[in-house]
Amino acid sequence: MAYKAGYIALVGKPNVGKSTLLNTIVGQKVSIVSDKPQTTRKKVVGIATTEDYQIAFIDTPGIHEPHTKLARAMVDQARASLDEVDLILYVADGSHHPGEIDQQIAKLIVSPHQKTPVLLCLNKMDLLKAENVERNVSAYTSMFGTEEYMMTTATRGHNVDRLVEMLVSHLPERAPIFEDDEFTNQTSRFMAAEFVREKILHATRQEIPHSVAVTVDTWEEEGNLTRIEATILVEKASQRAILIGKQGEFIKTIGTKARTEIEALIGTRVFLQLHIKVSEGWRQNPRILHELNYE
């Protein structure tokens, strides 16, 4: 059989499991995951290669109602991906009936101007009550105008292989686009910053997750040691105090957890130094968003 390859955009609401699905299929953590909505901020390319196919997935920020310049940039990133791909996989929380935002996204991707085929992944099947299966499946399939769907539990890898089979059957015959050992297009620097941000998302609640950005300022390789200095940007002095914690314990724990993952990623020992900077309203500041590459 001829080789199949192509780009697939993962689109959906925040927190439905797009990044979890991507990491499971690629077999590596290429996109950070948390229970906080709007975890993914920039589109991420994750590549899955086998002897029969290669899929370059574009993981996009969840589409929602944008209230800040950062959020608007995130929604634009997701929208812009639609034209660049061979297929769109709409990922939904299948345990919930579709709502207003699903309806709005459906209008966006099932319009006459939009020619890319749409397939459905109804995730979080583990949370789906048996009596709601038919009702939810028919609501999503009719809303997105497709009978091609798969129910999955991304966290347990359940049905993910069948989902991939469904996707591959719709891909064009094409030679591989990327090298077979490439699993992402992101730089190690960017992934390191994301790992730090993920540890902060996991350890904090309320407004902090949305107020945080991370930049890598220096990256020096000395033999088997990589020295990394990164800055955590927050919006208020009170958030800075929370992140530092009693006697600096909080930030220390974040650093240790992130360092372990960065070491696994780049394969050297890592010395990670974290700084915290208060920058009021950075999410509305075009200059800072530009510096963070969020536009």
Question: Which residues would be at the binding site for ligand GTP (CB under 6 A)?
Answer: 12, 14-20, 33-35, 37-40, 61-62, 123-124, 126-127, 153-155
Residue 54 contact, options Mg ion, ligand GTP, none, Cβ 5-8 Å cut-off depending on partner type: none
Q: Are 19 and 31 in contact (CB under 8 A)?
A: yes
C-alpha–C-alpha distance, residues 216 and 283, integer Å:
18
Min separation Cβ 131 and Mg ion, Å: 29
How far apart are CB 82 and ligand GTP at their closest, in Å?
Answer: 16
Structure tokens at 83: 């034209």
19 makes contact with Mg ion (CB under 5 A): yes
Closest contact distance (angstroms) between CB of 109 and ligand GTP is: 16
Is 23 a binding residue for Mg ion by CB under 5 A? The answer is no
Cβ closer to ligand GTP: 54 or 95? 95
CB of 99 to ligand GTP, least distance (A): 15
Rounded to a whole number of angstroms, the minimum distance from the CB of residue 40 to Mg ion is 3
Report which of 146, 294, 182 is spatially closest to residue 233, judged by C-alpha positions: 294
Rounded distance, CA 4 to CA 50, Å? 10
Select 183 or 226, whichever has its Cβ closest to ligand GTP: 183
Nearest-approach distance from CB 1 to ligand GTP, in angstroms: 31
Sheet containing strand 53-59, edge to edge, reads: 44-49, 53-59, 4-12, 87-93, 118-123, 149-151
Backbone angles phi, psi at 11, to 5 degrees: -125, 145
Residues 6 or more apart whose Cβ sits within 8 Å of residue 79: 63, 108
Q: What is the CA radius of gyration of the chain?
A: 20
If DSSP states are collapsed to H, E and C, what string results for 249-270?
Answer: HHHHHHHHHHHHHHHHHHCCEE
- Tell me whether residue 6 or residue 12 sits nearer to ligand GTP (CB atom): 12
What's the distance, Cα to Cα, between the start and end of the chain in Å?
41
Task: Choose from ligand GTP, Mg ion, none: what does 154 bind? Cβ within 5-8 Å by kind.
Answer: ligand GTP
123 binds Mg ion per the rule CB under 5 A: no
Pick 86 or 198: Cβ nearer Mg ion = 198
Neighbours of 252 (CB within 10 A): 13
Beta bridge partners of 220: 227
Measured from the CB atom, the residue of 26 and 272 that comes closer to Mg ion is: 26
Select from 34-42, 188-196, 240-248, 266-274 the region that touches Mg ion (CB under 5 A). Answer: 34-42
- Least separation in angstroms between residue 80's CB and ligand GTP is 16
CB of 121 to ligand GTP, least distance (A): 10
Residue 216 interacts with, from ligand GTP, Mg ion, none (CB under 5-8 Å by kind): none
Binding to Mg ion by residue 24, rule CB under 5 A?
A: no
Q: Does 40 bind Mg ion (CB under 5 A)?
A: yes
CA nearest to 93, candidates 81, 105, 102: 102
| Shorter beta-carbon distance to Mg ion: residue 6 or 62 | 62
Residue in the structure block whose two tokens are 């990044």: 19
> Binds 20, which of ligand GTP, Mg ion, none (CB < 5 to 8 A, cut-off by type)?
ligand GTP
- With CA atoms as reference, report the closest residue to 87 among 5, 176, 184, 183: 5
- Interface residue list for Mg ion (CB under 5 A): 18-19, 39-40
